[in-house]
Chain A
Amino acid sequence: MTVEMLSIIGAALAVSVGAIGPAFAEGRAIAAAMEAIARQPEASGTISRTLFVGLAMIETMAIYCLVVALLLLYANPFTQ
């Protein structure tokens, strides 16, 4: 196993494992928002704005994983 192979495996693992948690979290957040809008359609503006901000926060975790993967693939400090 060279460093390059380990980096590629690490990048794939980072994205695939790191996407699971945010995916579940976003599903739960959207389900809760749907329920809230169904109960109170008049509050849909506030709910969807808060939902977007919350989704952005959750998504950040997945994007951190993506950045780690891209660093491993393109700017790996151990292979230069």
Chain B
Amino acid sequence: MKQIAVVSGKGGTGKTSLVASLAALAQGRAVVADCDVDAPDLHLILRPEIKEKREFLGIKRAVIDSSKCTFCGSCEEHCRFKAIDDFVVDSLLCEGCAVCKLICPAEALSMVDRLSGYAYISETRFGPLVHADLFPGEEASGKLVAMVRELAREQATSRKLDLILIDGSPGIGCPVIASLTGVDIALVVTEPTVSAVHDLERILGLAEYFQVKAAVCINKYDLNPDVAHHIEEICSQRQIKIAGKLPFDQTVVKAMVLGEPVIKIGGPAAEGIRELWRALELCL
């Protein structure tokens, strides 16, 4: 089984639009996993029919039983996350460590499970999709990403599919690390802007840190040909393959509005994506 993670460093470079097209090109041989759990958008194009829904319990939260509390203030003093104020726990700040419970002399604190989101196993017109919703403002996005990837592996095994396509989140932190570890290829989508180049170098550094092979897709390469050329130089120095170069194409947004992958609409970006898919297949 092979796994491709589409990541980017910088947000909004076109990961999800690209993954939707790759899902269509894979023609039912892939399980798609939307690992951008706190801003998941892939379902807007793949329009899944949900078959199974699983609860996601993130981190536990502290609760103070006011009938037992002696208002000694020990919990507030020891909480390093400043989550206790005036004998009330702020659940947005609580990181579930349970130090307050350990410290409390009156046994007034308990740790409770909290439903933090859902993971879904769905069917789409391009094959199975595993996706999730992290409730707004919740922690533990990395843990939910791990759950989505585990469900995707189960689906691939039971359906005898040999490819998992992962739509990652922007950045280089917890959910990205959870999306990237152990994949066969990290396809990094970038664009020719000063910001995106800076972010590209950080995500390529992260892939190297976790010993994951990377390939790059330059989206909207014609927006600034000089910067695009600079990206090619960076990749050549790092011996990283440019898997594709996609032109700026208004069809991409039109396809998004229609809820269709770009390759189903056509145009220059669609052509570029087809070439990229062929290059990716060779990489695998």
Tell me if chain B binds chain A: no
A residues near B (Cβ < 8 Å) are none
B residues near A (Cβ < 8 Å) are none
